[in-house]
Each structure stands twice: as structure tokens, then as C-alpha cells.
Structure 1
């Protein structure tokens, strides 16, 4: 079974009880990539896994292609029109109008109206052929390159496997230049707003094809984190993502920080901080053995982290230390976002809920 970002969602799903078992009913197969998300008044209570802001608007994504948006700081939500019912994992808006969402089945969605309607730009049925054509073309020019031959072979396997590889995060520098990352070292870049996606798998220091869970900039530096302590930083000159030496070999699920202070976080409450561009990392002890799953930064510069159980950690010193915020209504959390009013919105197994930020 593929080890992916559902590291968290598998645990979260275990908290959901199934009220009754339904008998198996023969039905015509409907591909989730060709089935629009079902509109439901209960969508706000379903599992949500990604959050972002589009200007003042909040955008949330989750299971079965559900995408919701709120214009009153998370008090009320409306459901967007989505052309797929694949589980969605992450969402990002570089502008108030244009944004992208990614998830299972290799799906990449785009919105140009602040998240009200979405179109499909890419899905897993296309990922394998794109990789195969790209690396086969390179191999034709360098027939003796064993690394390229290996990439062609792997691309051929992806074609045969079909649409089963998820994308796990998305980040756009502006409305044209962006990146998506996912399972087994999947990483692509676009320079035209998603009309064309260019593979970058040969530009990563990731020979084991470890899963890539997240990417985000800290200042002018773009980081990618993943399995087995993998932390990479993009070299702006070569475009290569170079591995950083790390003192921890467990998975990292996210990256955040401010210019001069980068933080990566992940399994078992592990948080590491670097003040020298990733050359050296120091562990930040927060006293929680639970995985840190998401982050956000407030307008006044506070760094906020959340655990898989819903603990909220706040730093007022650029990540040098964190304080645990009182929160009596703990529940599994996959994503957090600060609202324009300064409160938090949490996404998880119980859908979306607000939380004051002290």
C-alpha cells in the first residue's frame, strides 16, 4: 500500500465510526475523475484536509472532491462546483482570484473566480504519458544515459498503473509559475498557469523516490519535505532541489517560517529550525509526542502549528520556542489557516470549525 500523506488521514479516519454496513449492490462503475462532486448541506461536516486564503476569502478542500469557501471568516460556508469526486489534499491561491487544488488520482484543479468554480487541468491518466514522453525524448538524445533509461522504465510502469498516484501539495509563486509534488518523488513545474506541466524528477536529490509531502517558500528559498527526514532546498541557479543534512530520519509533513528562520515539522512532534538557510538544524522541543500536521502565520508574525489531535502551538519569537494554547475541544486536525480577523479555522475529521487565537 502506498505510503502517502494519508499518514494522518488514516489515523483521522479511525476516529470516524460507521453507523451501519450496507449490502453490496452491483452498479455501473463511475470513474471519480469523470464524476462531479456531489453537492451536500453536510459537506462542511465531512473530512476536510486543506485550507488557504484567497484574499479575504477562505477556501477548504477535502474528501470526495468537496471544496468550500467562506466570506465571513469561516462562520458560513458555500460549496463550489467541482468536476471530480477524487479526494483532495491541498490548495493554494497566489492571488485573490486564481488558485489550484491537488489530490488523489493525480488530479490538479484550477479556479479563476476565487474558488467558486473549478476546472480540471491534469489527472493521473495523463501523468504517466507526460513523464514517458518527456524522458523518452531526452533518452533519444542521450541513448547511453542509464539514469534516463531508468526514468523511462518507471514512467512506463506509471502508464500501466493508471491514475493511482496522488499529488500531496501545491504552491504557486504567482498566477503563472507553480509547483506540485506527490508520491514517489513526483514533482512538476508550470510556467503558464498549468496549461503545461514539466517533470522535475531528475532535479531532486531523492534517489530512493521518497514521497514528497509539502513544499513552501521561506523568504526567497523554496523547500520540499518528505519521508525519512528528507528536506530539500531549491538552488535558484541550477533549479535543482538539493538535500539538506538532517539530524532526524522520520517523515516531515510541512515547512514554514520567516526570512532568516525556517522550520520543518512532522512525526511525533518533531520540529527543527534553521537560521542559516538549511545548513544546520536545531530541534525545538514542544513536549508533544503527536505529529505536527499544519501551520499558518498571523498578520502580526506569530507562527502557529497544529498537531494531529488538534493542539495549537504559537510562537512569538520566529519559531525559537512555542507555547501550547488552551483548547478544550480537541479533535483531529489536518490543516489550519488564520482568518483576516485573526482567529483560526481548523480542518479535520469533523469538518471545519473556528478557534479563537489568544
Structure 2
């Protein structure tokens, strides 16, 4: 199979941004954000799905609408199951409210059933994903505490429980979207030791998956040299295609009155890449070179996390204040930044 090299974007907030009146521009012209991205080299879009989120966005109904838009543009579609009503990440892998009373066997049934319902709905809409993440940044497990494997929970029994939950999701994907690839996504882009420990466990427990996903943010996960070491070692060890399915870098850290940024200090910068549009472009260019250089052609692509999360709402208080708007590929007013054009090189 000839694999399409993915140049992707996670635009999970776009639905909410547009509903609040946000818009996107290229050369002063208002355009569909998907058209802007596609015309600048993007060929894949990632969406997260939450079970029953406060506010409604990223639920099944809204995900179907966004998925149809993606497919109508002819773009590859990666669906990211969080299996939660809110963020699932290394610090938060909480059960959705409807599953709080369930234990392992019931949770496995719930994961399989929910995954099936979502994929069936997307199938009816003609918008099945091309790739599916069973869980988001699941290094410490998922659906805590039954599937938790960090700290004191790092036991053989807990890994058995955790992988059984993942297998339930994978089984549903294989049945309902057999053409889709299954991704397992962790958050250790610059950490070979933890990556090896995690995927060795998955091999030991016989988890069936196709591709590996990593998150890599240099202020959290090390240098680009650390990323290269990890990706190269991962390719040699497991022989599976690898995607850095989340990354970002700032185009400014200049303070803006009334706005807080998660990335706001000089000491957070990667050496050699200033917080400018040009510095962001240089980061993206060198980051892509590392992925393309992974042994045996197993560096298969990337997704930029929330390139379009512009500050379109005065109050982003529903669980996710927008502190990311200087890590986007659009400026605060929704104008495309020149750094996105690296994808056309």
C-alpha cells in the first residue's frame, strides 16, 4: 500500500469558533478555513469527540456535521475518541458521567457500544474516518481508575484491565469501519524510555493496532533532537508508521491585555526558534524534516494541534479558556500566517 504522507490539522474548536462569529481570512479574503488549509498543503483533519460535553460542541451530532465538511473537501479524516465528557490527557482520563457506575466488564461493553454507535452514525452520513484513535494521550491509561496504569497503578493487573478497554474500542473499529487504521496515541514525543515501556506492554498484551501516534510540544517534551531519537528508535523497535499527531509552536509571546497564554516566556522557547512567524515557520520546517527522516519511511506525517483556535469568544469559560491563541497558524483576527505555507514546500 502506498501511504499518503499526512500534513494534518486538528480543528476541533472550529465549529465552536464559527458559531461564535469567528472567521478566517487569506490575503484579506474571508474563506472557508478548510479551503485555506487545503490550498496551503493540508491533506488531513483531526477531530476529537467527547461523549456528552458541557456546551454540546465535539459531541456526536456536531462531529457528524464537521466530518461531512471534511469529507466533502476530499480530506483524510482522523477521529480521536477521548472516551470522556471533557479533556482526556495525561492528567485527566476520567469516565464520562454516564459510565461512572460501571466497572471493568461494563466499561468494556460501553467502550465497544459507544464506538460502534459513533462510527455507525458517521457511516450513515457518508463520513467514516480514515483513521481512528482509540483514546487520547493514554500513556497513564484511560477510564480511571479501572484502566489506570501510572504511579501506584502500574501493575500487571491494571495493564490487563487497561488493554482490555483498548481492545474493546479496537474491536468496534474493526467491525464498523474496517477500512480505517487504528492509532494508539501517547504523549511522550521526546521520551524513548517511556515510549518503549508503553508499547512493549501493548505487544505483551496483544493489542491490535496499525499506527503509533505521539504528542510533541518542545516546552514539555524536550528538544527536536530528543524527538528524532525517540521516533527513530520507535520505528526500529516496532516497525509501524508513526505520526506526531500533536505539535505547536508560538508565533508571538508579546503580552496582550486581558489575555493569558500557556506559552508566554522566553525560557519556554526551543533554542534557535524565536517566537515570530518566521521562527514558527523554521520550527515547522525542521520538525517535518525529522519526521521524514525516520528509518524505513515510517515517519508518516503529523497534525498541528488547534491551528485555528482564535479568540473569537469573550468568554471561553466552558471548561477550556483559550490560552492557545499564540500557538495557532492564524493571527488573533483569523488571518492566515505565512508559516502555514511551509506545507507547500
More helix by percentage: 2
Tell me which of the two structures has the higher relative contact order, counting C-alpha pairs closer than 8 angstroms and 6 or more residues apart: 2
